């Protein structure tokens, strides 16, 4: 990964990061939000199937990874556009995991 991008997110050793430069994602708001506790977020993204029997036997199903988190902080960071990796052409298959 680009070192300046890693510096911009103030990367910590004990934290996983999902960094995306694609704009074709869907952010759904919480239906119910309790202001006395930390907000929760669930990241859902395509994942490599461990084996075909676990992925629905290949019947047109996509294996997905769901990661549930408590939100500690949010902020906007700025990264130079030229540092972002180029987007793959539309309709191209996802890279192997």
pLDDT per residue over 22-54, tens digit each? Answer: 767 787 888 887 888 888 888 888 887 666 555
Query: What is the domain range of residue 4?
Result: 1-24+38-86
**Residue 9 forms part of a structural domain:** yes
Q: How confident is the model at residue 68 (pLDDT cuts 50, 70, 90)?
A: very high
Q: What is the pLDDT of residue 17?
A: 80
- Tokens representing 45? 């993204």
**Residue 8 forms part of a structural domain:** yes
The reply to whether the predicted model has a pTM over 0.75 is no
Which DSSP category does 18 fall into?
-
> In whole angstroms, what separates CA 79 from the centre of its chain?
17
**Residue 91 forms part of a structural domain:** no
**Residue 53 forms part of a structural domain:** yes
**Residue 95 forms part of a structural domain:** no
Total number of domains in the chain:
1
- Tokens representing 70? 């408590």
- Residues 77 and 21 sit within 8 Å (Cβ to Cβ): no
pLDDT, averaged across the chain? 76
């Amino acid at each position: 990964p680009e070192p300046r991008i890693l510096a911009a997110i103030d990367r910590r050793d004990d934290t996983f990061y999902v960094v995306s430069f694609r704009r074709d994602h869907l952010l759904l708001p919480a239906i119910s939000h309790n202001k006395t506790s930390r907000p929760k977020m669930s990241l859902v993204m395509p994942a490599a199937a461990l084996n075909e029997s676990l992925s629905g036997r290949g019947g047109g199903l996509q294996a997905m990874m769901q990661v549930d988190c408590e939100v500690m902080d949010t902020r906007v960071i700025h990264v130079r556009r030229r540092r972002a990796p180029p987007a793959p052409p539309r309709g191209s298959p996802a890279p192997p995991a």
